[in-house]
Amino acid sequence: MFFDLPVKTGAQRRSASRFRSFLLSDGYYMVQYSVYARICNGVDAASKHKARLKAHLPDNGAVRMLVITEKQYGSIEILLGKLSTEEEDFSPEQPSVF
């Protein structure tokens, strides 16, 4: 799930923060800023979470949902440039699937 939300005003920042909090409480994890992922067991679960996303959409902004299989997700390649000293401890998060 990808999103682009306006954050120019205080109200917009609060709305974006509430949306991010909802995502985390609903089992999503941050892949990178404004890109969150969630493991769903099948099409029915993905449909359920699509409905939950729709119910929590902020008034402004754009949210995109992309459903991919576990195999497709597993083939993601993480390409990194040279890391700065602050980033050297970076290790990409591996989702656990049960």
d(CA 46, CA 97): 15
Q: What is the pLDDT of residues 30-82, one digit of tens each?
A: 999 899 999 999 899 999 999 999 999 998 889 999 999 888 988 989 888 88
Question: 23 pLDDT exceeds 70?
Answer: yes
Question: Beta strands of the chain (E only): which ranges?
Answer: 2-4, 29-32, 35-37, 62-64
pLDDT score of 17 = 94
Question: 91 pLDDT exceeds 90?
Answer: no
Q: What pTM does this model have? A: 0.75
User: What are the sequence ranges of the domains in the chain?
Assistant: 2-73
Would you state the torsion angle of the CA atoms of residues 78, 33, 26, 7, taken in this order, to the nearest 10 degrees?
-160
